[in-house]
Structure 1
Amino acid sequence: MLARFKTLSVNRFTFITALFYVCIFNIPLFGIIRKGIEKQPDVDPIFIATMPLFLAFALSFVFSLFTVKYLVKPFFIILTLLSSSVFFAAYQYNVVFDYGMIENTFQTNHAEALMYVNYASIMNMLLTGILPAYLIYKADIQYQPFFKELLHKVLFMLAMLAGLGIIAFFYFQDYAAFGRNNDELKRYIVPTYFIGAASKYINVHYLQTPIEYQPLGLDAKNVSANPNGKPNLLVLVVGETARSMSYQYYGYDKPTNAHTQDQGLIVFKDTSSCGTATAVSLPCMFSRMGREDYDSRRAYAQDTAVDVLNHGGIKVQWFDNDSGCKGVCDQVENISIDLNSDPELCTGQYCFDQVLLNKLDETLATAERKDTVIVLHVIGSHGPTYFLRYPPEHRKFTPDCQRSDIQNCSPDELMNTYDNTILYTDYIISEVVKKLQNQQDKFDPAMLYLSDHGESLGEKGMYLHGAPYSIAPIEQTSIPMLAWVSEDFSKDNHLDMACLAEHAAKGGFSHDNLFDSLLGLMNVKTEVYQPKLDIFASCRG
């Protein structure tokens, strides 16, 4: 009897594996179903009861396609390990692995990946990944002669289809209506959704014929003519994971902008991001395409805003303390901060953003007297290890969350540690402004800051970022955008500052405005420039 229990037929192995995926890896899916039921209280309880069966039948049918001798064990071991990670992200943080998140994952570096390793993630991998993978490895799967095995598999698959057909016969309209009202359901099905997204990413980036590269703005010309003879200097600070609702400037009730509040920054209200993850937002915000027509494959095959500035004779430098520029800065001077470069500010795994201030000092000390754009890509509020984003002396809001499994911190602790990152970024911005003020004898300086996307901190059960844009909460898409403009810059570039402050207060901005705003600020004229998207154009005399 025990021997029979240990020995599994292929079909029994398939069905048991499918049940495991339904009962464990799809727990987040049933959480979404529960929310859907709460919105639709008159739903038939028998229909709801069929959902686990429907999913088990469907997965069993799909899994049968891969239960081939010599393939079955390595395939399901790898699939189970991957599904374990996806399940943990969805269960703990409500993160969905769609195409954008897959793209972000592929572009995550080693140091960034380690930030997600904690006790909870290790235990999850042990219990739902490694242990089941070991049991799959040890399973005694018995194979019959080829044609007999094939017949049994076909009959099994037909039985699964019959089960699906019977459920659909009685509840097709219910499934259709419930699915329309809860479109996000399909994104939580493990493993089909993340496998589909990963397959699409691999196809787009590795299997399709590369798109011919398209230069943009080769006609670009710098038409600035500052009467005082000083060149323009713009420092663009690109933030990471900063959301506007945690900014004092946007109505937040904590002093998260204490460092810049007396520096006369202009606050652009109601600004939205192009995506909810760096791998999407960063190339999108510098591309000629807007969010609605953005295509990552085309974006990587054409010039960016910094390339057009470079074509126009503007000196462009990119300094990165985050996860890289995602191709945006590949054709201009760029430096990624060495994580061992400063023993006081770097640990070998990360650097505090103050390291960029030192790099800015070095650059300004030897800067050419020509129109220049310097991009500082900060690590800002990158989670989940928010507590590693600010030095101890900038730990102003306490108690904070001194751990990476942020879901186990209290709401106040989590909010405090995130707010510390915002306040620290505000300090970085204030120091950039001070350094630019000290350059006014040589340059007409200005500063522009905006974040790549926002962050969820437990609202509606969601953490971190990367949600599909169609269902992303405002916490992940509403971002801060700030500007500081020196008196000489505004005067020599004919900017009406009162007009700009009034225009900024009206709101309605997005990453779509960045491309043309950069060209406009630096007086670069080209056929690809669209004045209607330049947020400074209406206030330029």
Structure 2
Amino acid sequence: MLSRLKSLNSLQFTFILALYYVCVFNIPFFNVVKHGIDKQADVNMLFIATVPFFLVFALSFVFSLFTLKYLTKPFFILLTLISANVFFAEFQYGAVFDYGMIENLVQTNQSEASTYLNWVSILSFIVTGVLPAFLIYKVNIRYKPFAKEVLSKALFMLAMLAGILLIAAFYYENYLAFGRNNSLIKRSIIPTYFIGSTAKFINLNYLQTPLEYQQLGLDASNTSSKLEQKDKPNLVVMVVGETARAMNYAYYGYQQPTNSHTQEQDLLVFNNTTSCGTATAVSLPCMFSRMDRQDYDERRAKAQDNVIDVLSHAGIQLQWLDNDSGCKGVCNNIKHLLIDNTHKSKWCNGESCYDQVLVDELDHQLADISAKDTVIVLHILGSHGPTYYQRYPVEHRFFTPDCQRSDIQNCTKSELLNTYNNTILYTDYIISQVVNRLKRESNKFDTAMLYMSDHGESLGESGLYLHGAPYALAPKEQTHIPFLAWFSPEFALQNNLDLTCLKKQAAAGGFSHDNLFDSLLGLMNITSEVYQAKADIFARCRR
């Protein structure tokens, strides 16, 4: 028996490999199928019994296209190693490897990627990826003479196709209906879906001709000087959050004191705010772009100005300070600084930095900026997982016991919530520090602060962890975000803002990332043909 396994003909190899992929790598797929069965009142179990056979036949057919001499081993070794990582992410975190996830992976830096490494992920990779890849390397695959090999392969593929058609002949309508009611099914098949998503990403980003760049708002004009009695320039600090979900904010009714640091600072709390995407690579450029979520297109966004550029056209002094994985192109045309993880600071450990490092850098910027209208963006690391415990210093470890590990699925629910809540509380501390610094600048500037997260996070609800779910299927944990604001009394007075009106508007809520473009322009008193007053949150309360 062992000698037979050491030597297989190409068809045997193809079929056994397809079986392995179905029985191991597609466990997440069968979990999705089970979920579909559980929520459906009447299911034909004979139809369900055909699903693994259908998948084996389909993968065998596809794999046959690549079982070619000199190609088979390197191709399937690489595919198996990649599939092992995809399997772990899908099985443990419920991740879906669509276009957005591939984009997010490509833009992830080494430090961020290392946070996903733990003994569970490494062991899974060795058992499901490295060992099978080693067996593929060692097995002797026999090929017939060319003509006979082509004929036998063709007959094998016809047999697989016949099996698919036979199942379809009896259960086509069942597959169609079940697929429509469970749209996550096709997204869970390994390796076909992540390969298709990767091919789409490569095509759109590297093979298609880049669009001609379009500048927007070249007519932008700063009208602050026309405001009566205004004798100081505006200074707005926008804090862009990372992975913060609204449901864990005390401001939104959460029962834990996650906003105790800003409680006395009279922040405006905007209810029911939604994100443009479920991952930074999508949400960050989308929230600053002229496009709304419904019509957002990554290629077009890269080929046109965003609101930061329009502010620059209007002569606003700009700075982007980043402690996350970069600005995803948003800040390319202005002065920007990406914090080096090896930064010589007590806030950095060589792998990541606590967000206090941005507050310290803000101090340096405030000491040097000119007395003119200014916007400074702080892109914080916030609540980025799965190593939530690395996002706050020990002195900010308020909720205990917390989850001091990256394999968060192995923590208890209370431990996971505690460590995530600590990140929210620490972000609240950072916001309070920013507001305090803005108060100190009130002799030189009229000051304001905005805070808005890029997307939310799943913490085990419905078996999902982290973020990046397809937006159409994403739970509210990943799309409902915190949106906070603070205005000094002088800023409100000198910019004709009615704070009482804004508090009512914030309580009513119903905003999204779509509002940011026009709200930033309006807040800085910018006029332009690209400005749309109806989307400006603050225009509705301007005296």
Please state which band the TM-score falls in when normalised by the shorter chain: over 0.9
2:123 counterpart of 1:123: yes
1:375 pairs, out of 374, 377, 401, with: 377
Task: State the alpha-carbon separation in 2 of the partners of residues 360 and 187 from structure 1.
Answer: 43
Could you list the per-position Cα deviations for residues 123-168 of structure 1 after superposition, in whole angstroms to 9, with x for gaps in the alignment?
Answer: 0110011101101111100011000000000000000000001100
Task: State the alpha-carbon separation in 2 of the partners of residues 96 and 372 from structure 1.
Answer: 40
Could you list the per-position Cα deviations for residues 296-344 of structure 1 after superposition, in whole angstroms to 9, with x for gaps in the alignment?
Answer: 1111111111000000000110000000000000000000012122331
Task: State the alpha-carbon separation in 1 of the partners of residues 137 and 202 from structure 2.
Answer: 27
2:420 counterpart of 1:418: yes
CA contact (8 A) 2:291 2:514 kept: yes
CA contact (8 A) 2:217 2:310 kept: yes
Amino acid paired to 2:288: F
Partner-residue secondary structure (3-state), 1:100: helix
Task: State the alpha-carbon separation in 2 of the partners of residues 4 and 204 from structure 1.
Answer: 45
Find the counterpart in structure 2 of residue 199 from structure 1: 199
CA contact (8 A) 1:398 1:416 kept: yes
Task: State the alpha-carbon separation in 1 of the partners of residues 76 and 132 from structure 2.
Answer: 10
Task: State the alpha-carbon separation in 2 of the partners of residues 386 and 39 from structure 1.
Answer: 33
Task: State the alpha-carbon separation in 1 of the partners of residues 13 and 129 from structure 2.
Answer: 17
How do residues 273-288 of structure 1 correspond to structure 2 at under 5 angstroms? 273-288=275-290
Task: State the alpha-carbon separation in 2 of the partners of residues 468 and 319 from structure 1.
Answer: 29
Amino acid paired to 2:434: V
What is the identity percentage for the equivalent residue pairs of Structure 1 and Structure 2? 65
Find the counterpart in structure 1 of residue 470 from structure 2: 468
Find the counterpart in structure 2 of residue 400 from structure 1: 402
Partner-residue secondary structure (3-state), 1:237: strand
Find the counterpart in structure 2 of residue 222 from structure 1: 222
Find the counterpart in structure 1 of residue 515 from structure 2: 513
How do residues 492-503 of structure 1 correspond to structure 2 at under 5 angstroms? 492-503=494-505
Find the counterpart in structure 1 of residue 210 from structure 2: 210
Task: State the alpha-carbon separation in 1 of the partners of residues 358 and 193 from structure 2.
Answer: 39
Find the counterpart in structure 2 of residue 176 from structure 1: 176
2:534 counterpart of 1:532: yes
Could you list the per-position Cα deviations for residues 87-111 of structure 1 after superposition, in whole angstroms to 9, with x for gaps in the alignment?
Answer: 0000000010100000000000000
Find the counterpart in structure 1 of residue 145 from structure 2: 145
Amino acid paired to 2:412: S
CA contact (8 A) 2:6 2:138 kept: no
CA contact (8 A) 2:345 2:357 kept: no
Amino acid paired to 2:305: D
Find the counterpart in structure 2 of residue 327 from structure 1: 329
How do residues 73-472 of structure 1 correspond to structure 2 at under 5 angstroms? 73-225=73-225, 226=227, 227-472=229-474
Give the C-alpha shift of residue 46 in structure 1. 1.1
Task: State the alpha-carbon separation in 2 of the partners of residues 301 and 155 from structure 1.
Answer: 49
Could you list the per-position Cα deviations for residues 408-435 of structure 1 after superposition, in whole angstroms to 9, with x for gaps in the alignment?
Answer: 0000000000000000000000000000
CA contact (8 A) 1:211 1:298 kept: yes
Query: Runs of 4+ in structure 1 displaced over 4 angstroms?
Result: none
CA contact (8 A) 1:342 1:355 kept: no
Unmatched segments (≥5 aa) in structure 1: none
Find the counterpart in structure 2 of residue 3 from structure 1: 3
Give the C-alpha shift of residue 2 in structure 1. 4.4
Q: TM-score, normalised by structure 2?
A: 0.99
Q: TM-score, normalised by structure 1?
A: 0.99
Give the C-alpha shift of residue 39 in structure 1. 1.2
Unmatched segments (≥5 aa) in structure 2: none
Task: State the alpha-carbon separation in 1 of the partners of residues 210 and 392 from structure 2.
Answer: 41
Find the counterpart in structure 2 of residue 32 from structure 1: 32
Task: State the alpha-carbon separation in 2 of the partners of residues 442 and 5 from structure 1.
Answer: 78
Task: State the alpha-carbon separation in 1 of the partners of residues 308 and 230 from structure 2.
Answer: 26
Task: State the alpha-carbon separation in 1 of the partners of residues 32 and 144 from structure 2.
Answer: 41
Task: State the alpha-carbon separation in 2 of the partners of residues 213 and 153 from structure 1.
Answer: 49
Task: State the alpha-carbon separation in 1 of the partners of residues 3 and 381 from structure 2.
Answer: 56
Partner-residue secondary structure (3-state), 1:52: helix
